[in-house]
Amino acid sequence: MTRPEHGVVLGGGWAGMLAARALARHLESVTVVERDVLPDGPRNRRGTPQARHSHILWSGGARIVDELLPGTLGRLLAAGARRVVFQRDLITLSAIGWQHRFPSGEFAVMCSRPLLDWVVRERVLADPRVTVRPRTEAVEPLGGRDRVTGVRVRDVADGSWSSLEADLVVDASGRGSRIRAWLSGLGLPPVEEDAVDAGMAYCSRVYQAPPGVAAAFPPVNLADHPEHEPGRFGSVYPQENGRWIVTLAGTRGARLPTREEEFLPWARALPDPLVADLLVRAEPLTPVFVSRFGANRRLYPERLEQWPDGLVALGDSVAVFNPIYGHGLSAAARGAAALEAQLREPGPGWAGAAQRAVGEGLDDPWIMATSKDIGYVDCRARTSDPRLAGGASDRHRFSAFINARALRSPAVSEVATGVVALAVPPSELGSNRFLALLSKDEILPELSGPPLRPEELALAGLPARNGHTAPAGSRADAGPGEGDSTSAASRTAGRGGQPS
Ligand SMILES: Cc1cc2nc3c(=O)[nH]c(=O)nc-3n(C[C@H](O)[C@H](O)[C@H](O)COP(=O)(O)OP(=O)(O)OC[C@H]3O[C@@H](n4cnc5c(N)ncnc54)[C@H](O)[C@@H]3O)c2cc1C
């Protein structure tokens, strides 16, 4: 086809805005079709209920966003987001022990999800080539199996239908996307789908932290011991405006608290009192929000022998992950970057090539999440992925070994953090370089409690804990880039991921 001129993006969420930006770099005009009215500021809205829960943006995704929209990271930080170096700047009790606070080149951006969305959206919509059609619902694509030519839309206010012509349609309508049905409607065979569901659920509350504490106290991740099923997790993450978001999460059967009075006792029952101790020092600002969207689900549109020109799907519409790994935003950013790369040379069949590139970008987060989750008791899996055959396989055992090592080895931790941050491919863990490193890395003593510094304890008004406190001037104070981790272990600790 000739170079596309007008693009339509279905959904104005995170993936939709990044896709609109990718398109705006190459097309003359872009229309974003969005069911909601997009707020003029960092506010929650109906179409993204998950925004009530803690969201982190890993450095792998943050760098892509900053490349697509230069200066975004700086704006987020100026608006109150924190750049948290893993594991230097946080406290993690993984399922198998406390994590040493090693420095690293990798980080996560922590703030509210509405702020993340707003900073990106404001910048994308500042481009006059991009316009939004609010309160407009995508109903179905126009065209046929060879080529999509636009989309039929419904006006949410009056129910009327109309057609939008386009050279390119990008489905970014999130986890509720009807892309499978749409492709069938175009006459294409069924798209293969995998699902690995450990029954993960989240409940979250936002708190006002004591003055000055949210901006300086390390974020906290706690996980229950692996022999305790179901898995249970707790985290306290900073947001802008001196707030904390506290998330309690668990796999199937964890009986999460849904009422306010149940929240603190559940946190108190985690294997360490740190989350509960912080909670009692803060003022709750919201009720308890519950999310049961915790399954991993992946479509494989790239496996279809034929793909219509003029159509690409990305973000949650093609793959969702257990949120505990914090990979959805970064995976969507990878998708937008893949789309942008294909748009530089839109030769024949480029939309199919773009869809394959989107699928490639999903594979790392997919295998990291599913190879861990499939090991949970009561996990329900329907998957054709041969790497997951036999459940918790050799891959899982190797991952457990790396996790344990990364807790105490700065060098192993650095590589593992890069993998979890989606900055380094998981294949690096099987490289000769990494295997050589395992034979000569430095291993620090096991920690018996949270490595909090005296000044951090004092800041939060927490009592000292005998034998646990990291002395000032310890490795935790080394500068970034010297080698750190996110032992995948920290994933098991709430957010932090687990290389597989
Ligand atoms: C509890 C929870 C916690 C999470 N935590 C993290 C985290 O820490 N880090 C991370 O990276 N990821 C996290 N995720 C995943 C992350 O939320 C998603 O990956 C991300 O929102 C995907 O963006 P998206 O644009 O594809 O979908 P969404 O952000 O859901 O946006 C979809 C948009 O499409 C619109 N829409 C839907 N249907 C239509 C239609 N027919 N027509 C028009 N518009 C439509 C919606 O209104 C919405 O605006 C979490 C998810 C959950 C559930």
- Nearest protein CA to atom 19 of ligand 1, as residue: 328
pLDDT tens track, the chain, 500 positions: 567 899 999 999 999 999 999 999 999 999 999 999 999 999 999 999 999 999 999 999 999 999 999 999 999 999 999 999 999 999 999 988 999 999 999 999 999 999 999 999 999 999 999 999 999 999 999 999 999 999 999 999 999 999 999 999 999 999 999 999 999 999 999 999 999 999 999 999 999 999 999 999 999 999 987 666 788 999 999 999 999 999 999 999 889 999 999 999 999 999 999 999 999 999 999 999 999 999 999 999 999 999 999 999 999 999 999 999 999 999 999 999 999 999 998 888 999 999 999 999 999 999 999 988 998 888 999 999 998 886 556 667 788 889 999 999 999 999 999 999 999 999 999 899 999 998 889 999 999 999 999 999 999 999 987 655 555 544 443 333 322 233 333 333 445 443 33
Tokens 């009986």 appear where? 255
Describe the crossing of helices 410-420 and 350-373 by its angle, rounded to 10 degrees. Answer: 130
Cβ of 81 below 6 Å from ligand 1: no
What confidence score (pLDDT) does residue 489 get? 33
Cβ of 237 below 6 Å from ligand 1: no
Q: Please choose, from the candidates 204, 100, 96, 107, the residue with its C-alpha nearest in 3D space to the C-alpha of residue 493.
A: 96
- Nearest protein CA to atom 15 of ligand 1, as residue: 328
* 62 residue type, one letter: A
Residue ranges of the chain that CATH labels 3.50.50.60? 6-42+112-195+294-371
For the chain, the straight-line distance linking the first and the last C-alpha, in angstroms and rounded, comes to: 40
Cβ of 33 below 6 Å from ligand 1: yes
Q: Please choose, from the candidates 10, 48, 49, the residue with its C-alpha nearest in 3D space to the C-alpha of residue 30.
A: 10
Atom of ligand 1 nearest to the CA of 320: 19
CATH of 6-42+112-195+294-371, one of 3.50.50.60, 3.10.180.10, 3.40.50.10170, 3.30.365.10: 3.50.50.60
Tell me, in angstroms, the distance from the centre of ligand 1 to residue 145's CA.
27
What confidence score (pLDDT) does residue 484 get? 28
Mutate to test the pocket of ligand 1, among 9, 48, 115 (most ligand atoms within 8 A of CB): 48
Residues 115/79, Cβ–Cβ less than 8 Å: yes
Tell me, in angstroms, the distance from the centre of ligand 1 to residue 318's CA.
11
Cβ of 48 below 6 Å from ligand 1: yes
What confidence score (pLDDT) does residue 482 get? 28
What confidence score (pLDDT) does residue 137 get? 98
